[in-house]
């Protein structure tokens, strides 16, 4: 399975959108400074996920959300079940 995930940093009041086949591993990487673009926001927490059978589907959904550039849309997703 592949996942779209949205992380949130209270420190930066920012969201990060990504895709992976292991959400917990990626969260740990973000929180252990493995990703330069998220270093300043530690700690990150998972606020939303979607599951997909194929990598390309999760990546397409990631691109779709990133293209929206809409905090309102992302925050509406936070209220949804993970």
pTM comes to: 0.87
Task: Annotate 21-61 with DSSP letters as a single string.
Answer: S-HHHHHHHHHTT-SGGGGGGPSEEEEEEEEESSHHHHHHH
**Phi and psi at residue 34, in whole multiples of 5°?**
-80, -15
What residue ranges do the domains of the chain occupy? 2-78
pLDDT at 72: 84
Which CATH entry fits the domain spanning 2-78: 3.40.630.10, 3.40.50.300, 3.30.750.24, 3.40.1440.10? Answer: 3.40.1440.10
CA distances from 39 to 47, 56, 72 (A): 18, 26, 24
pLDDT digits over 9-63, tens only?
A: 999 999 999 999 999 999 999 999 888 889 999 999 999 999 999 999 999 999 9
pLDDT at 81 over 80: no
């Amino acid at each position: 399975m592949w996942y779209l995930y949205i992380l949130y940093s209270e420190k930066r009041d920012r969201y990060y959108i990504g895709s992976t086949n292991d959400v917990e591993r990626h969260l740990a990487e973000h929180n252990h400074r493995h990703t330069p673009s998220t270093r300043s926001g530690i700690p990150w927490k998972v606020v939303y996920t979607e599951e997909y059978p194929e990598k390309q589907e999760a990546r397409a959904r990631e691109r779709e959300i990133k293209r929206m550039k809409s905090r309102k849309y992302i925050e509406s997703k936070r209220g949804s079940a993970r």
